[in-house]
Chain A
Amino acid sequence: MDVIANQLFAGLSMASILLMIALGLAIIYGAMGVINLAHGEFVMLGAYATWALQTYAGIGILPALPLVFISVAAVGWIVEKVVVQNLYHRPLDTILATWGIGIILQQAVRLGVGAESRFVKGPALLSGNTEIGPLIMSNYRLFVIVFSMAVLAATWVLMTRTEFGMKLRAVIQNRAISECYGIEAKRVYSITFAYGAGLAGIAGALITPLFSTIPTMGTGLVVDAFLVVIVGGLGSLIGSAAASVLIGEATAIFSIVINDTLGRIAVLAGIILLIRFRPRGLFPTETRR
């Protein structure tokens, strides 16, 4: 019983991380139809930025978060301006270009920092565990769960309650008409892409105490995050949240029932089947096409 409870908690913890990565991916995909294969590398950049801040400036994870957000968002903004913006009408080429950017970022970090695994200390404030009966929960993981929910809420507010969100939704619905009403679609896209990248950066920062920080760390995560986006339905925030819990828990349960490799294969098979049978996700947003 307690094994299951603890595994469920591990799944929830995984889900919270997936959610933060997937949110950025979902916003970028939902808003611009861009499948950003460099997203995993944004996560990796966030992790390395955190490591650098801690090692060279002595800044802990929590105070580093805003800095990491801004710096990775800046990278995202540059990538959007220089590459993605020129490819909106060529979706297949966007996949390829973002893939190439992912390789460039990965190799640049490998050359600049080295391929070996880097270690980042978790915040002292959140060390230790909270125990409820047999259930042992690390405080840090609890914090990540709460934080991810806060990020979800903030994103929801941004998308539905602010002027920027309204403009973004207008551009998604019909770019040409929005531009006629004076909305600068290009700018909206740049900001959205930067925001999504920034979220990935934060996710990268938060996972540093939990994962080993290596140049290839993003590649595996982006696959799961992509699955979350597909399952959740394109551009649906609530769908993404539900899907990340579903997938986080499924992965956690798979890894105790069968082994890790087969668990991953099952996840991949899940992606394939979903795209085939429910290309608009399990929780599609109702729009007339």
Chain B
Amino acid sequence: MSSKFQYDLVALVIFALVVAFGVPAVMNYDGFELNTFARYLALAIVSMALSLSWGTAGLLNLGQAATFGMGSYAMAMHLKLRASDGLPDFMGWNNVETLPWLWVPFESLTFTLLAGLLVPAFIGGLIAIFMFRARIAGVFVAIITLAFLVAFQLLFINQQGLTGGQNGLTGLAQMSLFGWTVDPYSMGFYNLVAGCLVVALAFGVYLTHSKFGLILRAIREDADRARFFGYNVASYQTLVFCISAALAGWAGMLYTLVLEFASPTYMSVSFSLAIVIWCAVGGRESVIAAAFGAIVVNMLEGRLSDVFVEGWHLILGVIFVLVVMFMPRGIYGLLSDSVRKIRRIRRTRDQRGVETFPNT
């Protein structure tokens, strides 16, 4: 086990403890505050999902919001059906008379949960195959995914009878999981979201330290070299795209539960940019740092946007440009650089002090 892996495991445990016990205590177990923080935790999942494709594999997916939105709408469709007798209200307003076939299976929670993971993974996979079989890389991945996002959102809003259009899906029921009605302002719900985040992070930490993660880093650095070692680069890239999309969908489902509605703004370019910002601020190389970045930026936004109602986006833009220019590896980069420096100092001191131990 490498030392980096050990550091990450320790960080994960600390992170899990703080999120599970520290935060609720600081929040005084207040329902409203817990709901707000649960929102940050859900967003942390989509941020760590981006770090897998961007940080590990070097594939900047600017369309992450699309897969997030798919998960969010999958959940919202289920809850909307549970809230309405037969046909959801907005369909009536749009002259839709029978429940569209696309909606029918969302009566089932099991199907919904699966669809919220698998539909984004499938769509993400299709785009990935389309790009990576042709060896599209670098900035072109960013442009294609961005164009896809814009087209997808336009199409989504355009299909008003099916999706609720610009208004999104509102008036949702509460989810009931094995007979437990999920109240988004309860401690139980907070624990659910926190648990999901910790599981996602554990999975992410494992993935980045597995040989799969190593090969992705190798591909990021020199895809051709990896091909000459026999790795099917396109399929590695496709799988990480699928995993990242599935995690984004998962985050989207939780986000709908937190806010109790789904809106097409979840699929907007600015939301996708926000995800990139969180991930960049925290540090794209580490899933934990990316999740941390999402939480920090959103907490800042929560506190500061009260003060600078109008100016918040300006501040965010400035922060982002500064991070890209001077802290390209984010908070994580600062930390790991200083850890490396301390180790080097300690090593030189050790070598000077104890000359009799050559191999350490």
Direct contact of A and B (CB under 8 A): yes
Please state if A97 and B325 are interface contacts (CB–CB under 8 Å): yes
Of A103, A219, A269, A276, which one neighbours B317 at CB under 8 angstroms? A103
Minimum CB–CB distance for A264 against chain B, Å: 6
Q: How many residues of A contact B (CB 8 A)?
A: 35
Of A86, A219, A279, which one neighbours B140 at CB under 8 angstroms? A279
Is A87 part of the binding interface, using a Cβ–Cβ cutoff of 8 Å?
yes
Query: Which residues of the other chain, B, contact A110 by a CB distance below 8 angstroms?
Result: 310
Of B140, B310, B317, B328, which one neighbours A275 at CB under 8 angstroms? B140
Please state if A35 and B317 are interface contacts (CB–CB under 8 Å): no
Is B136 part of the binding interface, using a Cβ–Cβ cutoff of 8 Å?
yes
Please state if B314 and A111 are interface contacts (CB–CB under 8 Å): yes
**7 new A-B pairs (CB below 8 Å) besides A91-B139, A107-B311, A279-B140?**
A92-B139, A103-B317, A107-B313, A261-B154, A264-B151, A268-B147, A268-B151
User: Which A196-234 residues have C-beta < 8 A from chain B?
Assistant: 219, 223, 226
Please state if B321 and A104 are interface contacts (CB–CB under 8 Å): yes
Give CA–CA (A262, B156) in the complex, Å. 11
Q: A87-B325, A103-B316 are in contact. Are A276 and B131 (CB under 8 A)?
A: yes
Query: Which residues of the other chain, A, contact B151 by a CB distance below 8 angstroms?
Result: 264-265, 268-269, 272
Is B9 part of the binding interface, using a Cβ–Cβ cutoff of 8 Å?
no
Taken residue by residue from 269 to 289, chain A's Cβ proximity to chain B (1 for < 8 Å, 0 otherwise) reads as 101100111010000000000
Interface centre among B130, B138, B147 (most CB of A within 10 A): B147
**Interface of B, helix, strand, loop or mixed by DSSP:** helix
Q: A108-B314, A226-B143, A275-B136 are in contact. Are A264 and B154 (CB under 8 A)?
A: yes
Interface centre among B131, B134, B151, B328 (most CB of A within 10 A): B151
User: Which B180-213 residues have C-beta < 8 A from chain A?
Assistant: none
Q: A107-B311, A277-B134, A279-B136 are in contact. Are A97 and B321 (CB under 8 A)?
A: yes
Is A52 part of the binding interface, using a Cβ–Cβ cutoff of 8 Å?
no
Is B155 part of the binding interface, using a Cβ–Cβ cutoff of 8 Å?
yes
Please state if B313 and A275 are interface contacts (CB–CB under 8 Å): no
> Interface on A for B, CB 8 Å cutoff?
35, 83, 86-87, 90-93, 95-97, 99-101, 103-104, 107-108, 110-111, 219, 223, 226, 261-262, 264-265, 268-269, 271-272, 275-277, 279
Please state if B325 and A83 are interface contacts (CB–CB under 8 Å): yes
User: Which B304-336 residues have C-beta < 8 A from chain A?
Assistant: 310-311, 313-314, 316-318, 320-321, 324-325, 328
> Interface on B for A, CB 8 Å cutoff?
60, 130-131, 134, 136, 138-140, 142-144, 147-148, 150-151, 154-155, 157-158, 269, 273, 276, 280, 310-311, 313-314, 316-318, 320-321, 324-325, 328
6 contacts between A and B (CB under 8 A): A86-B325, A100-B320, A101-B321, A103-B314, A275-B143, A276-B134
Query: Which residues of the other chain, B, contact A100 by a CB distance below 8 angstroms?
Result: 317-318, 320-321, 324
* Closest A residue to B135 using CB positions: A279
Query: Which residues of the other chain, A, contact B314 by a CB distance below 8 angstroms?
Result: 103-104, 107-108, 111
Query: Which residues of the other chain, B, contact A219 by a CB distance below 8 angstroms?
Result: 269
Please state if B136 and A276 are interface contacts (CB–CB under 8 Å): yes
Please state if B310 and A223 are interface contacts (CB–CB under 8 Å): no
Please state if B138 and A92 are interface contacts (CB–CB under 8 Å): yes
Of A265, A276, A279, which one neighbours B155 at CB under 8 angstroms? A265
Query: Which residues of the other chain, B, contact A268 by a CB distance below 8 angstroms?
Result: 147-148, 150-151, 154
Give CA–CA (A83, B134) in the complex, Å. 32
Query: Which residues of the other chain, A, contact B318 by a CB distance below 8 angstroms?
Result: 100, 104
9 A-B pairs closest in CB distance? A103-B317, A268-B151, A107-B314, A104-B317, A100-B321, A100-B320, A97-B324, A107-B313, A268-B147
Give CA–CA (A7, B329) in the complex, Å. 50
Q: A265-B155, A276-B131, A277-B134 are in contact. Are A96 and B143 (CB under 8 A)?
A: no
Give CA–CA (A110, B310) in the complex, Å. 9
Q: A87-B325, A103-B273, A262-B158 are in contact. Are A95 and B150 (CB under 8 A)?
A: no
Minimum CB–CB distance for A289 against chain B, Å: 14
Give CA–CA (A279, B137) in the complex, Å. 11
Please state if A103 and B280 are interface contacts (CB–CB under 8 Å): no
Interface centre among B148, B273, B311, B317 (most CB of A within 10 A): B317
Give CA–CA (A171, B171) in the complex, Å. 60
Give CA–CA (A238, B318) in the complex, Å. 37
